[in-house]
């Protein structure tokens, strides 16, 4: 039976996912069979698993760090927000229901059963399971039905390391304050703390580090300096979407929808030195000098169509087309390009029909069945590439006669008669060097190769970074 250790944070976005990924790679390099685990995740950035389900993107990266295939048990509860107050609830890879935030707590006992079942399955096949918390254990109002932090840790008897983010300021209060609000049972579950994202000379924090240890009674496992290459790993949080502009290169603009999903599709383009990828957020007009506009995935296609029009982006897109620009729609973005999207059963929200952008002669009907599969495809010109499908709805129409790709002889996607507007349900295609080279080549751009190998190299550098600055031996010893 595997030992286990849990990384919790003093708040959201303090670097828990990165810390777990680094520990996964560091311990895997020591010859251990390691698995990542996150009881509950909230994200619209997901990955398709080898067993035909979906999990949060962060757990996919962590599994990559462990050099092990993805399974639904690495993230048994995935919440995919569809509105400000509701989310789709995915349990062990499959959609269970749509729940409002107020009603979600009623599901917790049922969900805890699935969480503990998945955790037991991982422990049965590994030497070490490294667990990632969600949010903060200091949210004591959520503690009675918690399945993500101390509720899980105490139920499964997993020791906890609490990580604080010094870059955002107030890290002493983050850690000491968390200690102050925990009850005795939860406090006893904490095996120690660490400091993340330090910039400058770590020795300048020696007194603060000692203060935290003295006032919490927790063992310290080190101060981790800022890891500069973190941006090269697939991001899960929409807060990480900002991209610095580049001088020259192919100008690509991606519209940032309110319910944008699977935006890690764009990471290989973002990291290519010959591509200037800009994320166009609400309130910004589409720049007039862009070469390609990408409409990414969406968790609420009809809702984000309305959002798109509210920004005036439909007008900008029409002008972009008149100037001879190109448009690519991926998944939900592909559905938006058609004549309409119809959802008679109210699968993604209120039942109804929404007029699309009319840039492709296709139409989409939302159906309950969700397509979840990893695929080997051929581009329109015959280049093989890998990707995955993760969508509801079926798209048909005249422009499907010019498919974007084929999968086992089946036509996939669509293209306009002049080829300047294309759409596809396939995620992850830009990770494939061959496909990315072909796609960029049509614009006269030479693609940088080796994206996947570079991600693997970054994971090794992250593990080296943590080995240098943290007590990794002590963290492993703390697992039980």
Residues involved in catalysis: 331, 427
* Cβ burial, residue 106 (10 Å; 0-12/13-18/19+): exposed
Backbone angles phi and psi of 149, in degrees to 5: -125, -110
- Phi, psi at residue 303, to the nearest 5°? -65, -40
Angle in degrees, 0-180, between the axes of helices 433-441 and 451-469, rounded to the nearest 10: 120
φ/ψ bin of 382: left (φ > 0), alpha (ψ from -120 to 50), beta (otherwise): left
Q: Go through 191-217 and write b for each residue having 16 or more CB atoms within 10 A of its CB, e for each that does not.
A: bbbbbbbbeeebeebeeebeebeeebe
Residue 424 pairs in a beta bridge with 330
Q: Which residue's structure tokens are 């169509």? A: 305
What's the rounded Cα separation, in Å, for the pair 127 and 130? 10
List the structure tokens of 13: 């976005």
> Crossing angle of helices 313-322/301-310, nearest 10°?
80
CA-based R_g, the chain, Å: 23
């Amino acid at each position: 039976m595997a030992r286990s250790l849990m990384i919790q944070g003093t708040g959201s976005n303090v670097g828990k996912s990165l810390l777990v990924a680094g520990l996964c790679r560091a311990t895997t390099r020591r010859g251990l069979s390691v698995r990542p685990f996150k009881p509950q995740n909230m994200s619209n950035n997901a990955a398709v698993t080898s067993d035909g389900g979906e999990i949060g993107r962060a757990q996919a990266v962590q599994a990559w760090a462990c050099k092990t295939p993805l399974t639904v048990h690495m993230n048994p509860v995935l919440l995919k927000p569809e509105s400000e107050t509701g989310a789709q609830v995915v349990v062990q890879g499959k959609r269970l229901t749509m729940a409002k935030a107020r009603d979600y707590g009623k599901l917790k006992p049922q969900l805890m059963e699935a969480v503990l079942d998945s955790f037991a399955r991982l422990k049965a096949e590994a030497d070490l399971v490294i667990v990632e918390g969600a949010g903060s254990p200091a949210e004591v109002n959520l503690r009675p039905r918690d399945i993500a932090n101390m509720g899980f840790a105490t139920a499964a008897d997993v020791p906890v390391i609490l990580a604080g983010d010094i870059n955002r300021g107030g890290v002493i209060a983050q850690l000491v304050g968390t200690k102050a609000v925990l009850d005795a049972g939860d406090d006893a579950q904490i095996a120690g703390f660490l400091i993340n994202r330090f910039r400058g000379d770590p020795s300048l924090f020696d007194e603060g580090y000692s203060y935290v240890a003295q006032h919490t009674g927790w063992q310290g496992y080190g101060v981790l300096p800022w890891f500069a290459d973190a941006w090269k790993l697939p991001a899960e949080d929409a807060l990480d979407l900002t991209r610095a502009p580049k001088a020259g290169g192919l100008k690509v603009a991606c519209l940032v929808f309110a319910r944008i999903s699977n935006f890690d599709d764009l990471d290989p383009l973002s990291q290519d030195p010959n591509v200037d990828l800009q994320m166009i957020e609400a309130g910004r007009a589409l720049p007039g000098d862009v070469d390609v506009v990408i409409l990414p995935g969406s968790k609420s296609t009809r809702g984000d169509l309305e959002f798109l029009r509210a920004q005036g982006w439909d007008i900008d897109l029409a002008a972009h087309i008149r100037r001879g620009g190109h448009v690519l729609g991926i998944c939900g973005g592909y559905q938006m390009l058609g004549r309409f999207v119809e959802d008679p059963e109210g699968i993604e929200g209120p039942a109804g029909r929404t007029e699309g952008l009319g840039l492709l002669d296709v139409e989409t009907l939302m159906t309950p069945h969700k397509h979840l599969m990893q695929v080997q495809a051929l581009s329109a010109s015959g280049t093989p590439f890998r990707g995955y499908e993760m969508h509801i709805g079926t798209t048909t129409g005249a422009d499907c006669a010019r498919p974007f790709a084929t999968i086992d002889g089946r036509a996939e996607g669509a293209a306009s008669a002049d080829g300047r507007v294309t759409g596809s349900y396939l995620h992850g295609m830009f990770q494939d060097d061959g496909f990315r080279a072909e796609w960029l080549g049509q614009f006269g751009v030479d693609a940088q190769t080796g994206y996947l190998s570079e991600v693997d190299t970054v994971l090794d550098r992250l593990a080296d970074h943590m080995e240098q600055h943290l007590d990794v031996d002590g963290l492993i010893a703390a697992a039980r």
